[in-house]
Structures are given as C-alpha cells and as structure tokens.
Chain A
C-alpha cells in the first residue's frame, strides 16, 4: 500500500472578534492510502470544512503539516468559477483550468465530459440559459474528469436529481476502484458514506474522535449524537434555531411513572414550557417524531392563545416498535419560528418480550406497529 496523503498534527486557530481564540482543528492525524476512500463525518462545526479548506489550500493551518503524494484537486462546490456569459464549451475549458487541468488534458477528456453531462446540443449556448439541472451536470462532469490523484469532495451529491446523484456516486466509486484515485469525502449522508468509504473518521470539536471501519464509526457517531444531546437540559442547549423571541425552558417525556422509557402500546405524555418576551398574537407548538436513525414518523401541531406558557401532549397509545425515538420541537410566534430544538427529547419504547427488544437494538431503525390481520384460508 502506498501512501497518498498524510496529515500530521494539524491545527487551525481562529480569532473571534479580536480577542477570543479558538481551535477549529487540533491534533488531527490522518493518512490516506492510494486508491482508498476516506469519509469524514461529524456534526456541523466539528471542523470538517476547516480540514477540507486546509487540504485544498484555501486557508493555511496554524500548526502541523500535510504531505501530499500526487496532484490534489478539491470539489468544495461544483460549478465554482463558471461564468454565466460563457458557453458550455468555453466554461469546460475555464473550469478545467481553474481546477488544475492543463488545456491538453481537457482537450483529451472533452468528449467524455460532454457525454457524461449530456449537453452536446447546448455546447455553444451561454450557460446562463442552461436549466439548473444541466448546469449542475456539466459542472460535475468537469470535476469528475479531473486528472488529480487525490480528490477532496464536499457534499457534491446534495445537488441534482436522484438519478444524477446515483451516477455521481458510481463515478466516484469507479474513480477509486479502477483508476486508483484517493478520495476524501465529506457528507451528512450516512448512506453514501457507508456505501463508498473504506474508512471513516469522525470529527468532534476539531479532533478526531474515532476512525475505522465505516459501519462501526457511523454507529458510534449516531449514538454519540443521541447521548450528547439527550443529556443536556433543553434550557442549556446552544444549538437552537429560530429568531429567539421565545425559548423552550423545559421538556419532558414520561408515562406518569417512569421518565424516558415507556411500554409499547402504553401511554406517553410530553410536557413543555417556555418563556417569551414578545407580544405575539398567536402561538403554535409543533412536535415532530423521529426514530433514532433520524427517520421521520409523525407530527403533532397545536395552536395556543398568546398568554399560555406551557402545554402537554398526551398520546393514549404508542404503537411504536421497541427502540429509541426523539422529538424535534418548533415554537412559532405569529407564524414565524421563534425557537427550534432538534432531538429535544428522547424516549425508549420497551416491548413486552425480550426478543423483540433484542432485534430492535440490533436493527436501530424502529418503525410503527400497525394493527392488521392476515386473511388466509387454511
């Protein structure tokens, strides 16, 4: 195995508002083998983009170093440097050279790029007249034909339709496997990460928390996301959104006796209270139910008079499979979101027999139990 990239003791310090210093990255050590794909995962602000920016030389590190064995190219966003007034043909050359290709190698790849993007008929039209789908396809096509040995890719797949995304993933896969390109891939899409990567590194607060085989790291990351947020009281949560006119101060899920763990098909109550300093005319609470994988299951909405500062949601019967679930909470004042807390409260559904619980623990993707009967003649 030959090394393609080695990151040694890398750190990046930012200065906020002139005084405070903070390390966006600290003591990061990684290495990438030739022809392998390394996935980077982590919460927003964990340092993934900072790491990519250093690797792609957009910003300089504060300490440590990176050694690259081969030409490196970054795709932090497809279509960077495209000029709307220029034609597709001219943009292929311009974008190719911005991404570090020589004119000769662009010429060699030209037909393949056009073919991949499927824009033959529009080659001499200014790209400002392209549909957004065509634009993205052309942009990715140029990027996908880079002759660099090391590719840095950030959420490229967030664009385009499902069919095109699939082709992008296949292209990345074949670049790594057939052409021995080494890839660092950053994404929030755990499906893409586990499907493409040979190795996954989990960044947490600027440091590498875990690195290894994809499924193990992804599992640990998702679990960590849960415990991290479940352990913080809602009033102390910093990662909230909304304009701040109101703030949720307490939130609890229980069944009257036990907190956080409820029986399958038993009752569940969620108590909420909040503060607001605004003279809103109306308030609305929305609770969205997800399973531990982050798959959406159901919603509950409630309109309140402006004076109320607390309410409860009571579910008489919870037909969920055994496993962990959580609610996202939105609080709207006059129809505009004032507060939002993701994964605000967790609860555990316990089944009646241990076998079901065991399966649920392994599957980690619990769903809904629907009442039904099989109709079949003996």
Chain B
C-alpha cells in the first residue's frame, strides 16, 4: 500500500517487516526519527523485539555484536559522530562475520557542528568490511533495507544502508509499504550458521595465529566478492515479488552518452532532471548512479562508462590530501582498461550545501568545455 512517509519512517517499516528481534541505538540527529518509531513499535507490541537504550553508539553496536552472536536478527541506526565512534566495532562486526544491518544517515562531521548531509562519515568507513548501499529515494531506502538482511545473511557480512540527512531522512514521499506476507516470502527467518550455545560450547573471536588469521581475512574478501553476485540474484527474487529492482549501478542514458555524470544519493534525482533538459537540447549526457560502494562493482562500471568521452564524478565528500572518494575509486576502476575516458572530479554539496539543478548543469558544461581535467578536484559553489 502506498503511504506518504518520511525516509526515516521507511527504514522503521522495513525493520518491522524484517521481524528484527534486537534493536540497540543511541540518539543522534538526524537518525532520531528512525529509533523513535521503532521504540513505539516495541512498546506497543507492533514488533516483538527488545530495544536496548544504550549509553553510546559504541555500546549500541557492541550490544548487537553480543545479540547477533546468539543467533538473532538485529538492527541499529546512526549518523556522523556516532558512526565514527563505532569505527572499532565496525571492523569487529565484519571480522566476526555477523550479518548486522545498520541504517546510516549521512551527516557532516564536526567541527564545526553541522547536522546536514555529507557522505564523508560513511565513506571514511570503507575499509571496515561493511557492504555499503547508497539510496536515492525513500522507496529505495525501504527496499534496500529488506534486501540488506537477505544479502547480509547470505554472505555473513554486515550491511550499511546509507541515506542522505533531511533530503531523505526527514522528507515525506509516497512509499509502497509491502505487506508482512510479501516480505515473509522474500525474507525467511534468520538461520544462523553458528551461534553461542551452551549445548555446543565454542569460543568466538579468540586469539588467532597469523596463518589462520590471514585465511580468515581472505574468507572475508571472498564473502565480499560473493556479495556482488548474490545481490544480482536477490534483485531477481525481489523483483518477482515486488516488481522493483535496483542494480549495483544504474546507467541512465549511458549507451550513446559522451559525458556521463557519476552520482550517488539524492544528487542522482536532481541530476536526472538535468539530464532530461540537456537531452532535450540534443546533448549526449548520461548518469551512472552508484548504489553499491562496497563491494565496488568494478566490472559493471567499466561496462557502463568506458566508451564515454568524459566522466564527471560528483562527490558530496572529500578525502583530505587526495580527492573525492567516489572519484578515487572510479579512477582506480578504469585504470586497467584501454583508452579510458578522463575523469573530472567535482566536489559539491559539502555539509549540506544545496546541489542545485543549476550547479549540476554547470558541472556538465565545465566538463564539456574543458579538454582534460587539469586538477584532481574542482570545488563547486565556494
């Protein structure tokens, strides 16, 4: 049934439909609406789950590590400083092969205090072994959350579903909220491969010598590779029930495009409008929407954009001393292909600054009118 709800609410509905058993969270703007709704669902019996109101984000994830180790489905949500505080345990989660799912609301890191959208918080966690999915609208948020549980529990790796602060978390949109029956068909109850059990006493996460450690790390790498394949299969299963599909990357008008904008999050929606206008004027413009950031879908990217004349990556994030993070990854993905197009890196919308239609159009013309990028990153709107 279609309902007009906030992005935060879409997350909460997915958590309810996924029959999550343990939730643990600590409040941080703009994540609070997610946990407020879930608190109510736990209090009024809409959900049969335990809600742990812990004293920090670090403890929120620690509690889930404990719960998930005992074989139940879990959830947390955070943003910005909260995610940074969790950093140590992000590594722990993937190392322990725990399929925990988290909603991460992209918010700028302090100082100075800024609650608006910015991707640096989540992208700075790229080496922690979490699968990361970026969302464009609230429907995609809800659907990605359901898919996240399916994927996490298939490859035994945690998943972060990422949504823009306010543009998604606090914006009302029509969202098709599926029925419990439909979701149950897609997402069966969690059947853990291993769990702490007094009938079968095991040690989890103990001291491990280098040879075995390296093998375990290699297994995580294999799990990430499998995640890419599994996500494609899961999309088909999801489509069969819900008639919606999201690929790791989405190529919009890319087949004949000469200039392709690479986008993620809500900037993609704005870019769709820009491309429509440009196409109307005869410009051969396209978009590559990045949904999946980890694992990085290298082959799909190469296939979608290698033929273009120029690539313009729009990054709402920055790695100081290097460049925009999507641009970095994209350059690396293209490097081993012959005659790859030049990659222009644009930094836009940092700390929630508006990334408008005009700004994106300016990025397009700048790219078209410049033969080759003479700097790694072009900061827009400052």
Are A and B a genuine interacting pair, yes or no? no
